[in-house]
Amino acid sequence: MSEAGECIAEHTRLLRLVGYLRGGGAAHAAYRAAALALTSLYLLQECVYAYRARSDMTKLSRVMFLLLCHVTSIVKQIVFHVDAGRIDKMIEDLDGAVYNSGGWRGRQLRAGTSARARRVVRVYAGCAVLTCTLWLLFAALDRARGRPVEFPFCTGLSADHPLEFTLVLLYSYYVTTLVGIANTTMDAFIATILYQCQTQFKILRMELEELPDSAWKISLKTGLEYDKILMEMFVERLYHYKKITEMANLLQDIFNTAIVVQFGIGGWILCMAAYKLVSLNVLSIEFASMTLFIVCILTELFLYCYYGTELTVESERLASSVYAMRWLCTSVRFRRALVLLMERARRPLRPAAARVVPLSLDTFLKILKSSYTFYAVLRQTK
């Protein structure tokens, strides 16, 4: 795998492991279909439970934050099924030579991006697994103490018998952990592609600032005409810029619907989770698990908005980098080409869900405000 492709190596491995990303062979295709069917069945069971508990706000809040979270997960899972071909192409494109240029400084930037991306997905997915494990532990301890345990989904079983309780508990743990790992990894995957685009802009800006000097060194070494080398290198940078914008636009086109659903439902998930949290004992395991869950949801929304903002800021700097190069000693033809690039760079990349909702920190703050508004309304109507 290339240096640029290495940034999503951990993500693709996990997504294939849980059956969300397309792998090789018919066996893995059957496994993916089974994973989708299982998560859909679990969501249906949650919907039935929510309908039955619609008059009990305590029970309803207990299931709604998970139900809504599973809705967003299945939407992303369906996108990975429907757009598997374009997602595979996006992954393969990162192995191209254009994304792995920039010399030793480019390698350093890509290595740093890959290392940070690995840390994010491991911590993020690990937090989800820990949350699900605490839910498992909480139910098991309540059962051991003789307290009644009610699962927030319709099972069709009483769960009074030890064997039935164990089967339902393990089923719930498996599905929630599967969804937790997949959901967090899909979020980290999308965010990492945005991060890689940001890194590619850094490399491109660095190469453009040094373009005349680099062309002059090659001309002295090879004896070739300076202007010809300069224009060839400029065309290569222009192609690099085109590929970065194509990658960002492809990512946006593929995950438009999923991100819109995530933003639309994210506020409600936080609202329902907070409503449940305030009724818990601060020193209880359930309080710790709910806190971790809220951290996961906040991270989920923050990753999109943070890396979307960073990509916009980095693309805005491109015109300044073009102007910063030593262009006074270049030909008129080359300067005209620079003017055209600067005019194009004045329209920076602004990732947006459905081309309407910007992936920016302002959007993140608006979601938090709307979530608090929903929560305040629920508390008043309790």
pLDDT in tens, 236-291: 999 999 999 999 999 999 998 889 888 888 888 888 778 777 777 777 777 888 88
pLDDT of 160 higher than 60: yes
**Four-CA torsion 343, 349, 354, 358, nearest 10 degrees:** -120
pLDDT of residue 373: 82
pLDDT of residue 159: 67
Q: pTM for the complete prediction?
A: 0.91
pLDDT of residue 87: 92
Cα Dmax for the chain: 86
pLDDT of residue 186: 93
Percent of the chain with pLDDT over 90: 34
pLDDT digits (tens, 9 = 90+) for 51-60: 888 887 777 7
pLDDT of residue 105: 87
pLDDT of residue 158: 67
pLDDT digits (tens, 9 = 90+) for 8-23: 999 999 999 999 998 8
Confidence bin at 191 (pLDDT 50/70/90): very high
Confidence bin at 41 (pLDDT 50/70/90): very high
pLDDT of 369 higher than 60: yes
List Cα–Cα distances, 66 to 22, 49, 62, 273, 297, in angstroms: 26, 12, 8, 9, 11
Calculate the average pLDDT of the chain.
87
The strand pairing partners of 353, in sequence order, are: 357
pLDDT of residue 1: 63
pLDDT of 382 higher than 60: no
Query: Among 353, 359, 345, which Cα is nearest to 306's?
Result: 359
